[in-house]
């Protein structure tokens, strides 16, 4: 149980830059404030998205960003490479 909690709080790697962290925290806090002012299901949605966004910024790791980076690397690796040139004509 302790290991699971530690893994949830401490990310395996940091893949969010410091600018992204601060923007996530600020945007998440704005969404939380908006959710607190709006009653009903839409307010709950704002609260949930804001909380996840703040957590992403505080944690410094985003699993969705990790998956997108891996997919991009795989796509780039599968592209054909241009033939090497020797510089002679």
- At 1 the pLDDT is 66
For residues 7 and 77, the model is more confident at 77
Residue 58 within a domain: yes
Residue 7 within a domain: no
Residue 20 within a domain: no
Task: Quick: pLDDT tens for 18-63.
Answer: 899 999 999 999 999 999 999 899 999 999 999 999 999 998 888 8
Residue 65 within a domain: yes
Residue 60 within a domain: yes
Is-contact 16 41, C-beta < 8 A? no
Rounded Cα distance between 87 and 72, Å, is 31
- Which H, E and C letters describe 13-59, residue by residue? CCCCCHHHHHHHHHHHHHHHHHHHHCCCHHHHHHHHHHHHHHHHHHH
- At 44 the pLDDT is 95
For residues 50 and 3, the model is more confident at 50
- Residues of the domain holding 69: 46-76
Domain count, the chain: 1
Residue 72 within a domain: yes
SS3 call for 3: helix
- At 4 the pLDDT is 62
Rounded Cα distance between 36 and 71, Å, is 37
């Amino acid at each position: 149980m302790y290991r699971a909690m530690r893994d949830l709080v401490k990310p395996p790697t940091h893949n969010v830059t410091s600018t992204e962290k601060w923007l996530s925290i600020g945007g998440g806090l704005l969404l939380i404030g908006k959710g607190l002012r709006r009653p009903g299901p839409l307010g709950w949605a704002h609260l949930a998205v804001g909380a996840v966004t703040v957590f992403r910024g505080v944690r410094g790791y985003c699993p969705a960003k990790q998956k997108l980076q891996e997919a991009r690397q795989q796509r780039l690796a599968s592209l054909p490479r241009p033939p090497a040139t020797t510089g002679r004509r």
